[in-house]
Amino acid sequence: MSLAEFDSQYRNNSKIVCGCDEAGRGPLAGDVFAAAVVFDENTVIEGINDSKKLTEKKREKLFDEIKEKALYWSIKTASVEEIEKLNILNCAMLAMKRAVEDLPVKPDICLIDGNKTPELDVKAEAVVGGDAKSQSIAAASILAKVARDRYMLEMAKQYPQWQFERHKGYGTKLHYEMIDKYGESPIHRPSFLKKYYAKLSEKQQKNR
Q: Which of 181, 180, 189, 178 is nearest to 156 (CA)?
A: 178
What's the rounded Cα separation, in Å, for the pair 93 and 21? 9
pLDDT digits (tens, 9 = 90+) for 25-46: 999 999 999 999 999 999 999 9
Q: What is the pTM of this model?
A: 0.94
* List of domains in the chain: 3-158 (3.30.420.10)
Spatial contact of 95 and 78, defined as CB atoms under 8 Å apart: yes
The CA-atom distances, in angstroms, between 155 and each of 40, 186, 205 are 35, 10, 34
Chain-centre distance for alpha carbon 65: 18
Which pLDDT tens digit goes with each residue over 188-207? 999 999 988 888 777 776 66
CB atoms under 10 Å from CB of 67, counted, come to: 15
100 touches 20 (CB < 8 A): yes
In the predicted model, is pLDDT for residue 208 greater than 70?
no
Whose CA is closest to 36, among 121, 137, 150, 149? 137
pLDDT tens-place string over residues 159-175: 999 999 999 999 999 99
Q: Please list, in sequence order, all residues whose beta carbon lies within 8 angstroms of the beta carbon of residue 112, skipping any fewer than 6 positions away.
A: 20, 21, 96, 118, 124, 125, 126, 127, 130, 137
